[in-house]
Chains A and B, each alone.
Chain A
Amino acid sequence: MSEELLLDVRNLQKVFELKRPWTEALIGKKKPLVRAVDNVSFTIRKAETLGIVGESGSGKTTMGRTVLRLVEPTAGQIIFNGEDIVRFSKGKLRKARKNFQIIFQDPMASLNPYMRIGKIVSHPLEIHNIATPAERKERVLSIFEKVNLIPAEEFYNRFPRHLSGGQRQRVVIARALITNPSFIVADEPTAMLDVSVRSQILKLMIDIKSEFGLTYLFITHDLASAKYICDRIGVMYLGKIVELAETRELFMHPLHPYTKILMSAVPIPDPTLHRKKLLPKGEIPSATNIPSGCRFHTRCPFAMPVCAQEEPKLVDAGSSHLVACHLIKES
C-alpha cells in the first residue's frame, strides 16, 4: 500500500429536500431536510480497502453514490487522482467514469434483461471507444476467466435470467473491471447473495484487487465481512463518520460507544461464547430531526450533559485512530 492518495474527500455533503404538504407550506414551515451525508471527510490511499459500516439511515449508501457523483453532492470536494471531480462538466465526468466503477447490492437488478452477458460486459469498452470490436470480445472472454465465469464462450451469449445470483454478481464485477479502473465502490456486494456464495465473491474481490491494482471503498452493514476484507474501517451514524481506524485497531479497541454497541450486537456463529451485550437506549431518531450536539447522545449509555450541547469533532486519539466523542480526548 503506497502513501499516495487516490481519493481525498473533503467536507462532502448531500442534503435531500423532502416534499411537504401545501398546508405546511402556507404557514411558512420549511421543507424537511435529510442530511444524508453531513460534512464527511476521509482519504483512501492507493491499493487500500476502506470500509464504511453503518445501519440503515447512516448515509453510507448515499455516500457511496455521491463519491462517484451518481448522486450530485450538495457541497464538498471529491479529489480523485489530484482532480476535483465535482468541478467536472457532465461530458468530462462521463468520460472519466472509466476510471471509477461501482458494484451494486442487487445482482438481479443490475443487469439489463435484454442484453446478452457478453454485450453487457463489453459495453463500457464500446462507450469509451476502447479497442476494436474483435479485441473487445477477447478482453471480455479473458475477464470472464478471471472472475470464474467459465466456460467463457458459453456465458458470452447468455442472458442474465439464465444465471444464478452469484454468477450475476460476477458479471457485474467483470463489467466494472473491463475498462481497467483504479477505483471501485462496492455497495453491499454480498448482501443479497446466498450465504454459501458470499465468501466466493469476497475472495474474488481480494484476488482481483492485487491483480488489477485496485482501490476499494467497501460499504456494508456486515461488520464481519468488513473485518475480513478492509484495511481501514469508518463507522457512520446519521450522516457522519463517528470513528475511523485501521481494522485490527478498531476491533481491538473500539472507542466510540456506537461502535462498541454495533460490535456487541453482531451475532457470532459460536454457541460457546457468552457475551455481555451493550444495547442502546431508544430508537434511531428520524433523519429529519437529527439530535442536537452529538447526534448519538439520545441513545448513548454514556451520555454526558455536554453531549447534548456540543457536537464532538473527529480527532486523532492516537496512531491515526479517529473518533468523534466527548469521552475521548485528542492525543
Chain B
Amino acid sequence: MNEPQVLIKDFSVSYRTKSGILQAVGNVTLEIGYHESLGIVGESGCGKSTLGVSMLRLLPPNATCKGSILFKGDDLLSLHPDQMRKLRGSEISMIFQDPMTSLNPIMRIRDHFFELFRVHNPGMQKGEMIEIAKEALHSVGVDPSRLDNYPFEFSGGMRQRVMIAISIALKPALLVADEPTTSLDVVVQEQIMQLLKKLKSERNMSIMLITHDMGIVAELAEKVAVMYAGRLVEYAPVRQLYTEPLHPYTRLLLRSIPNIKLDDMDLKYIPGSLPDLKNPPQGCRFYPRCPFSRGVCKDREPPDIRLDDNRRVKCWLYGDG
C-alpha cells in the first residue's frame, strides 16, 4: 500500500486556559504506514500526549484543533461524534500510562469487555462476547478464567496486560500507547514491550508509541518522531535517528542518556529548561538551549526540511526549506 494508514497534516491543538492560550501542538505533519510502529518521543510539555489523545478525539472541551488527521482516508476531525465513537475501540484503540486508575475498580474484567462490545456490536450474544474476551486475555498472557476478577486483584503489570487485552479485543488497526510502561518496573516493562511486539506482528496492527524513554523506542519503533515544545523537530527511521541524529535536540538528548552498554559514559547535558508554552520564544523553540544556533534561529521558526521520503528535520542548519 502506498497510502499511509494515518496521515496527520498540519495539525495544531490550542488550549484555552485562565491565563491565556496555550498551543500544545503546532503544525505537525506525520504518517504511520499500515502495520508500522511509530515512536513519538519527547519530554513533558512537548505535546506528544495531546497528539495521542487527538487520534481518538478525546481532547477536553477547552481545546481547539486545526488541520487534519486522515485515518484510512477519512478525516477524523470532521467525523460526526457518533461515527467517531464507532471507530474508538474497534478501529483505533488507546492504552494509558496508569493501569491503576484506567480500569473501573468496581467493575469486573468481563464487564469491561461487555461494555466495549455493547457499544460496537449491540447484537452480540453473551457467549460470543465471552469467547472474544477470553481470546484477548489469552493473547496477552492473562489466564482467561480471570474474567470474573476485579481490577484490584491484579498486580500493576497484569492490569496493564488486561488493559491491552480490552483495547485489542476487537482487533483495531491502530493502537495508541501513551507511556504504557512508565509506571512499571523494568522487568515488567520488558514483558509488556515484548507483548506489544508480539501483538503487532500477530494482528498486523500499527502502533503509535508515545514515550519519553529512548530505550523502549529503540526496541519497538520502526520510525521515530521527536517532539519539542509542541513542534515536530525530527522524523526518521529508527536506526538513522540513533546513528545519525540531525536535530541538535535529538543529538544532545541521545548523548545525555546513560547507557549500560557503554563503559566510559561521557554524559553530556542540555543546559536550561523547557520553554514556557504560554510564552514561547519567537524563533526556534530550542534556540535558548541550542549550542549550534545562529542569528536566524532567534527570529524565525525553521520550516520542515524534507531530506528524504522518510527523513525530515525542523532546523535552519539543514537548509531553508
Contact = CB atoms under 8 A, between A and B. Distances in A.
Do A and B interact with each other, yes or no? Answer: yes
Interface residues of A, number: 42
A306 B290 CA distance: 58
Given A198-B256, A199-B258, 17 more contacts: A55-B186, A165-B273, A194-B44, A195-B212, A195-B213, A197-B270, A203-B269, A227-B265, A248-B263, A265-B190, A266-B186, A267-B189, A267-B215, A269-B215, A269-B254, A271-B219, A271-B242
A9 interface: no
A269 B274 contact: no
B218 A228 contact: no
Contacts of A284: 155, 185
A296 to B, nearest CB: 12
Interface of A: 55-56, 164-167, 194-200, 202-203, 221-225, 227-228, 248, 251, 261-273, 277, 279-280, 283-284
A224 B269 contact: no
Interface of B: 43-44, 155, 157-158, 185-187, 189-191, 193-194, 212-219, 238-239, 242-243, 252-254, 256-261, 263, 265, 267-271, 273-274
Given A194-B212, A203-B269, A227 B260 contact: yes
B213 A265 contact: no
A267 B214 CA distance: 8
A91 B253 CA distance: 47
Nearest to A203: B269
A267 B274 CA distance: 25
Contact of A228 (B194, B261, B267): B267
B267 A269 contact: no
Contacts of A272: 239, 242-243
Contact of B216 (A224, A262, A267, A270): A267
Contacts of A269: 214-215, 217-218, 242, 254, 257, 259
B256 A267 contact: no
Contact of A283 (B157, B256, B257, B260): B157
B185 A56 contact: yes
Contacts of B43: 194-196
8 contacts: A55-B186, A164-B273, A164-B274, A195-B257, A197-B269, A227-B260, A270-B218, A277-B194
Nearest to B193: A267
A263 B155 CA distance: 22
B219 A265 contact: no
Contacts of A196: 43, 252-253, 256, 269-270, 274
Nearest to B266: A228
Contacts of B243: 272
Nearest to B240: A271
Given A195-B214, A272-B243, A265 B257 contact: no
A277 B190 contact: yes
Contacts of B269: 196-197, 199-200, 203
A280 B188 CA distance: 10
A200 B256 CA distance: 9
Nearest to B228: A196
A167 B272 CA distance: 9
A203 B186 contact: no
Contacts of A266: 186, 215, 260
A200 B260 CA distance: 18
Given A195-B43, A196-B43, A267-B215, A224 B257 contact: yes
